[in-house]
């Protein structure tokens, strides 16, 4: 019998959704067919009263989503990382085993994303489906973007490209990581036949959304895109935002975030090759939108 895959499960929580967190952990611990190491990161919160089999990390101050995930990844043990929102849950006991099995198909597969579905039947947010055509959850197979909320990542690939951009705090960290993985020659896969449940929330519920949306888009461009694609990316998204956002106050916050992104250091710059630009474009995701 082959050895079971070791999965390092990272759950990030601020402790403000106790009922949802309990269900998330219970359905995670019920997974079969893998060896689990579960780490709960208390982001500005000290986890207490967690189930047996869950290790905890206390982060005194909220360091944001991507850095909180990085902290959990360094602590958790396993060849495959599983990043899991604290308001999600796994409806069957074979979710992780089925996702982990995908990695055996090709040692260049870096990400396997399941399909997210709202448990109450609300429409699936477009950003969860890594395809332009979202009907029926989208087609399975290779993709060039992925949903960060619930996903698996090969640890060696994750570490090779530097993990999540921790200084982003919130927003577009998945785009940044996807670009870096693709540029390093890794593959991303989508398994719509493997379903996880997650409430269909809107990102605009976060107070920092408009600022981070603008700042981090600029940082994605500065870190990953060659000239003049980087400048075109920022210009196109500025035009899209002006067309979409009618609230002048929100638009003002967005442009302040844009200026922040332009002025501040985005971190390590590794512009993708033109072959990666072409790969994204062939997939219908040219790195300008």
In a domain, 183, yes or no: yes
Q: Is the peptide bond before 228 cis (omega within 30 degrees of 0)?
A: yes
φ/ψ of residue 44, rounded to 5: 80, 20
Question: Residues 127, 252: one domain?
Answer: no
Rounded Cα gap, residues 263 and 219, in angstroms: 10
Q: How many CA atoms lie within 13 A of 175 on its CB side?
A: 23
CATH code assigned at 153: 3.90.550.10
Domain-embedded: residue 89? yes
69 and 25: one domain?
yes
Instruction: Return the HEC string of 253-285.
Output: HHHHHHHHHHHCCCCCCCCCCHHHHHHHHHCCC
Q: Does the residue 277 lie in any domain?
A: no
197 and 215 co-located in one domain: no
Asked whether residue 281 is assigned to any structural domain, the reply reads no
Same domain, 118 and 245: no
Residues 41 and 90 grouped into a single domain:
yes
Specify if 122 maps to a domain: yes
**Are residues 83 and 145 located together in one domain of the fold?**
yes
Which of 155, 172, 201 marks a domain boundary?
201
Q: How many domains does the chain have?
A: 2
On whether residue 278 sits in a domain, the answer given is no
Q: In this structure, how many other beta carbons lie within 10 angstroms of the beta carbon of residue 85?
A: 22
* One domain, residues 147 and 111: yes
> Can you give the pLDDT at residue 191?
98
Cα–Cα distances in angstroms (integers) from residue 183 to residues 34, 176, 180, 274, in the given order: 30, 11, 5, 9
Same domain, 243 and 181: no
Residue 118 belongs to some domain of the structure: yes
**Alpha carbon distance 233, 43 (integer Å):** 32
Nearest to 186 by CA among 208, 158, 217, 227: 158
* pTM summary value: 0.96
Q: Which of 140, 172, 201 is the endpoint of a domain?
A: 201
Do 174 and 185 share a structural domain? Answer: yes
Domain endpoint, select from 177, 201, 225: 201
Q: Give domain status of residue 287, yes or no.
A: no
Do 77 and 187 lie in one domain? The reply is yes
Running along the chain, 289 residues long, what does each successive block of 10 average in pLDDT? 85 96 98 98 96 97 97 98 98 98 97 97 95 91 97 98 97 97 98 97 78 97 98 97 92 96 97 98 94
Domain with 222 in it: 204-271
Q: Are residues 175 and 62 in the same domain?
A: yes
Do residue 123 and residue 110 come from a single domain?
Answer: yes
């Amino acid at each position: 019998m082959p050895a079971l895959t070791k999965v390092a499960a990272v759950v990030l929580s601020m402790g403000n959704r106790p009922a949802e967190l309990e269900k998330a952990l219970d359905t995670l611990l019920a997974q079969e067919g893998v060896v689990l190491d579960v780490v709960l990161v208390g982001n500005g919160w000290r986890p207490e009263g967690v189930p047996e089999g869950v290790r905890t990390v206390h982060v005194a101050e909220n360091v944001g989503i991507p850095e909180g995930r990085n902290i959990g990844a360094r602590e958790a043990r396993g060849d495959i990382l599983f990043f899991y929102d604290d308001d999600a849950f796994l409806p069957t006991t074979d979710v992780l085993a089925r996702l982990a099995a995908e990695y055996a198909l090709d040692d260049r597969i870096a990400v396997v994303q399941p399909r997210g579905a709202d448990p109450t039947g609300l429409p699936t947010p477009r950003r969860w489906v890594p395809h332009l055509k979202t009907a029926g959850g989208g087609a399975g197979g290779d993709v060039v973007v992925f949903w960060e909320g619930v996903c698996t990542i090969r640890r060696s690939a994750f570490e090779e490209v530097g993990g999540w951009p921790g200084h982003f705090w919130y927003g577009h960290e998945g785009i940044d990581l996807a670009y870096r993985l693709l540029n390093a020659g890794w593959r991303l896969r989508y398994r719509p036949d493997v379903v996880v449940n997650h409430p269909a929330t809107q990102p605009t519920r976060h107070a920092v959304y408009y600022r981070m949306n603008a700042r981090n888009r600029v940082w994605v461009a500065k870190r990953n895109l060659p000239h003049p694609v980087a400048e075109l990316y920022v210009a196109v998204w500025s035009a899209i935002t002006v067309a979409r956002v009618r609230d002048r106050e929100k638009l003002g916050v967005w442009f302040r975030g844009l200026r922040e992104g332009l002025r501040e250091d985005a971190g390590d710059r590794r512009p993708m090759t033109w072959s990666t630009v072409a790969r994204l474009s062939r997939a219908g995701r040219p790195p300008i939108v």
